Amino acid sequence: MADRFFPNVMPDFVAEATAETQDEEGKEPVVVTQDSLMKLLSMPYSSLSQRFKRAALDLKETIKLETWGMTGQQVQDFTLYCGTLGTAFFLFRAYLLTNNNNDLALSSQIVKACDTASFNSRDVTFLCGRAGVCALGAVLAKHASDEQLLNYYLVQFREIKLPRNLPDELLYGRVGYLWACLFINKHMGTGTIPSTYTCSVVNEIIKNGRELAKSGRCPLMFEWYGEKYWGAAHGLAGIMHVLMDMDLKPDEVEDVKGTLRYMINNRFPSGNYPTSEEDKKRDVLVHWCHGAPGVALTLVKAARVFGDKEFLEAAADATEVVWNRGLLKRVGICHGISGNAYVFLSLYQLTGNVEFLYRAKAFACFLLDRAHKLISEGEMHGGDNPYSLFEGMGGMAYLFLDMIDPSQGKFPAYDLRKYFYNGRLEGRSYV
């Protein structure tokens, strides 16, 4: 099992340095330490933030070259998950941060190519289907003030038909389609894709979940290729995450809460979560897609939406296994260090606890300091799609952008609505 991750030997907390010297140019504080990673961890955040920014923008140029320039601007894989659309999404994030219109223009150009490549696709989700192309295209057109293109993408989006045999999960299923609807509404205004348009999809998901759950103790249960997954990519965590953004009836809200409580009550003693109902004995995977990281992000969201301290406590418990076993030997979002860092970042934003910020910073600094060297030496896997958003360097660059201002960084396209509950949770203290 240890070959999946690097032992985490970083200190549990390192305070930012207060005694500093200046470099020769007098531009950046120099922290006196022999270890380069420790130097980053103790660096004043204002200086570290600029390191993250430089690294992200340098990676941006490499990612553009590898996924767009060197391909002759041809799209082999149009998806946001591990294809060219992920580059467009990353460039959009960079544009929102730096207001560089070249990033917006190139992102729009890439989406147009993905539109052509995906035109006859039967895949309908945000991460892996046609809906992601149309949703991002519409939002980019709005930012570019291109009304004609905006209307084109919205018309194309509304023409997407969901197959009757569609699963319910996030990557390829119904909630993956709903995710695209929510993305449009966040950036273009609530009601752009009206609830009357999505309620039938929500009803189908709830009906399927209740039907499969009849023989068990969990209020909702879903299958993907015959297995009842728990994780964010194919299972309960991802489905509950999106359902919390939808307009649910009171009994449906209780089913979502009950499903999360079922998962909490049946987690491993380590704080990790099973991959599926059928695999409750192997405490192995600590990924966004399978295991504690994806579940923890959903629990943080539940704490924000419902205000129940039990969800915050369970999310905080999950951070221990992520801290100890989450330095994975991959860099990406889905099953890599970058995705795991967002667990700490989300808890920091909810609680204000700087120890969670430190842990997010530690994972990001580990990547900043060592990822390229470890990959070149064969100690770390560069990913099957090494420059993609969810499997490769694109995800690492996205995290670096989010670490510039850690109060605002979000797991890619998560947190799509504003919640009425904004207070501190009572009970166990995290602040």
Could you list the residues known to form a binding site for Zn(2+), using ranges: 289, 334-335
Burial class (CB in 10 A: 0-12, 13-18, 19+), 284: middle
Q: What is the CA radius of gyration of the chain?
A: 21
Packing angle between helix 101-118 and helix 130-143, nearest 10 degrees? 150
Burial class (CB in 10 A: 0-12, 13-18, 19+), 110: buried
Both tokens assigned to 40:
């980053």
CB-CB contact of 162 with 174 (8 Å):
yes
Binding-site residue positions: 289, 334-335
Q: In Å, how far are 94, 191, 193, 269, 380 from 188, measured between CA atoms? A: 19, 9, 9, 43, 40
**What are the DSSP calls for 73-126, one per residue?**
T--S---TTTSHHHHHHHHHHHHHHH--HHHHHHHHHHHHHHHHHHTT----ST
